[in-house]
Amino acid sequence: MSNPTKPPVRRRPSRRFVVVAALAALAILIGLVGPTAWTSSTKKSTSSNNLSAKDRIAANPPPTLFADSAVAATDSSVAAQRRQADAMVRTWATTHGAKADDQAFIAWVEQTFPPPPADLAGQMPVVVKLSKQRTTSGIAAATWLESYGKKDIWKLYAHDQAELLGGSPGRDRKAQEKAVLKMAKKIADDLGTRYGSAAPYVRMPSLRTDHKVAAGQKCPCSYPSRHATAAAASETLLGTLMPAREAEYRAMEAQIDYSRIYMAGHFPGDIAAGALLGDVIGDYFLLTRNLTALRG
pLDDT at 24: 54
pLDDT of residue 210: 87
- For 294, counting Cβ atoms within 10 Å of its Cβ (0-12 exposed, 13-18 middle, 19+ buried), the class is middle
Tell me, what's the pLDDT at 50?
A: 80
- Tens-digit pLDDT profile for residues 88-130: 999 999 999 999 999 999 999 999 999 999 999 999 999 999 9
- Tell me the mean pLDDT in the region 53-82: 94
Q: Who has greater pLDDT, 77 or 9?
A: 77
Residue 131: partners with Cβ closer than 8 Å, 6 or more residues away = 207, 262, 264
Inter-CA distances, 31 with 45, 55, 70, 283, Å:
20, 10, 32, 32
Where do the structural domains in the chain lie, given as residue ranges? Answer: 71-288
Considering only residues 149 and 296, tell me which one the structure prediction assigns the higher pLDDT. 149
- Domain 71-288, CATH class in plain words: mainly alpha
| Cβ–Cβ under 8 Å, residues 286 and 240 | yes
Average pLDDT over residues 176-200: 97
The residue with greater pLDDT, 109 or 221, is: 109
Q: Exposed (0-12), middle (13-18) or buried (19+): which is 163, by Cβ within 10 Å? A: middle
Nearest to 204 by CA among 273, 136, 275, 130: 130
pLDDT digits (tens, 9 = 90+) for 127-176: 999 999 999 999 999 999 999 999 999 999 999 999 999 999 999 999 99
Nearest to 51 by CA among 63, 39, 59: 59
Task: Determine the pLDDT at residue 2.
Answer: 41
The 10s digit of each residue's pLDDT in 9-55 is: 334 446 665 566 566 555 444 443 333 332 333 344 444 568 889 99
pLDDT, tens digit, 9 for 90 and up, residues 269-289: 999 999 999 999 999 999 998
The pLDDT > 90 percentage for the chain reads 74
Whole-number pLDDT of residue 36: 31
Orientation of helix 167-195 relative to helix 102-112, angle to 10°: 40
Which range of 24-28, 138-142, 206-210, 217-221 scores highest in mean pLDDT? It is: 138-142
| Confidence (pLDDT) at 29 | 45
Residue 238 burial by Cβ neighbours in a 10 Å radius (0-12, 13-18, 19+): buried
What does pTM read for this prediction?
0.85
Arithmetic mean of pLDDT, 77-94: 94
